[in-house]
Structure 1
């Protein structure tokens, strides 16, 4: 793993501890994926040659370099476990309104390649799982990570059954953007008020227009001004308000045949130098979800 990215990976261990310490969650609220994501589920999104090259560790050197991580069996297993966690989270969201994946948000994974620490696209795989099993027809993906969901946009291009909405930093990676169904590119240094104004202008109308059966939310905290890989200017409180507004919009949304629209949330990126800022920002996502959906 690149040296600069070892530190943020600790968040996957520390975040559950913080949630338990505060009483935001109980041990019984946590679950681990029951298995690795199956080839059948992966292949509804990614092509067979790419999946085989990952599992057999035969990806060519140029493609492997784009991943950002050294390719290994452990890494591939981790990605399969993350994707399965998002699938199982969707099933829990159908019962409990919302479910969270402490990992996930691997939105830079394309149909036929991975990049930027993303090998397999967890929310895309889960979207196709829901559709295949007739759990949802129309899906909305709301991606508020600082980086555009380029892989997600490519996977669902020309597919009216999945609407992709990405609100991201214009100056951030990827420097060649794909075309989501709706992209809002924000200038460097965008502050809380500007970000929230943009979100409020689009999100409620988008939900009303698309009438989704299921919503995926990618809640990256790399929008913070302190983030090493982000270029926006948001505060910790502004990031919390982003989550509170988004979850409130999801919770208020009406559906013709359901009492609520299920929401699956993946945590996405966060690379602030102080691990406490990362954990607090991610914990805020859980704090507001608990308050809104309880």
Structure 2
């Protein structure tokens, strides 16, 4: 089911975890002072190359080779909305709700980010683990965008995996500091998808949706308390639902230095979280597709390093679990 990639090597080549990246992830230019750190995704890729997570020659880096089809997008979104996004035909009100300055480059980025997560899922199902350098647009609803999210890559990719017949049960584990409200709303009537969201109770969005399981966390929660609560709830949900695939939204806006987070995790706490999630899921024999989720800081290098925790731990786990 792996769709066309611009690279020709096999996933898992040389024992390295596959990483998905597309240059358009950082292509749109944001106005000076804009809160969305668009340049960070290319910086994540560069850090992974510098550290060897992406191997020399990029033999474990995969590039989505096509945009998602209208049919793929319409499994999660209304057809009129999809066509308006693709044609840059949203009105000013809908653009304001998204919060990003519109451009053809933004449309390209939006579509290729969805395609990147689709490819991440394909490769994860093939070799057991794959991570994207972007993704996690969980505030996009069926007929509208919100909170810097235009199309919901998590919902599109989960439904595509089920529709293909490759799996019948998908769990989306969303540990971004903000609730995955769009994901929850889109997938509310999809029995094959379990939406798990552990998020700050006091944070955006003000009006929460109902996930299959919501874990609301108090402001200022630190590493040990976070790990105890989230790990227990996640493991219980995995045991109850028994998914055949996990899509993991690894938002780093849970850390104390994030400009839009209300929790107080340390960077070491991020490492603990990623090891717990991956070790638990992979240890149960379930493929995991990871996306970066949210993270906000004017210091792009610092933010990119936080996002890269996902990929660094994925490199460890790919070897430790013999994938």
State the TM-score, normalized to the length of structure 1. 0.94
Q: Which stretch of the first structure deviates more once superposed, 11-20 or 105-114?
A: 11-20
Matches within 5 A, 1:30-69: 30-69=61-100
For 2:122, which of 87, 91, 98 is the aligned residue? 91
Cα distance, 1:293 vs structure 2 = 2.2
For 1:262, which of 277, 287, 291 is the aligned residue? 287
User: What residue ranges of structure 1 are gaps of 5+ in the alignment?
Assistant: 254-259
- Secondary structure of 2:211's partner? coil
Q: Distance in 2 between matches of 1:73 and 1:14?
A: 22
Q: Which residue of 2 aligns with 1:71?
A: 102
Q: Distance in 1 between matches of 2:275 and 2:76?
A: 31
Matches within 5 A, 1:1-294: 1=30, 3-5=32-34, 8-26=37-55, 27-253=58-284, 260-294=285-319
- Secondary structure of 1:118's partner? coil
Superposed CA offset, 1:14-47 (max 9, x none) = 1111111111221111111111111111011101
- Secondary structure of 1:9's partner? coil
Q: Which residue of 2 aligns with 1:256?
A: none
User: What residue ranges of structure 2 are gaps of 5+ in the alignment?
Assistant: 1-29
Contact 1:110 1:152 in 2 (8 A): yes
Superposed CA offset, 1:257-280 (max 9, x none) = xxx321111101111343333122
List 4+ stretches of structure 1 deviating above 6 A. Answer: none
Cα RMSD, aligned residues only: 1.4
Aligned residue-pair number: 288
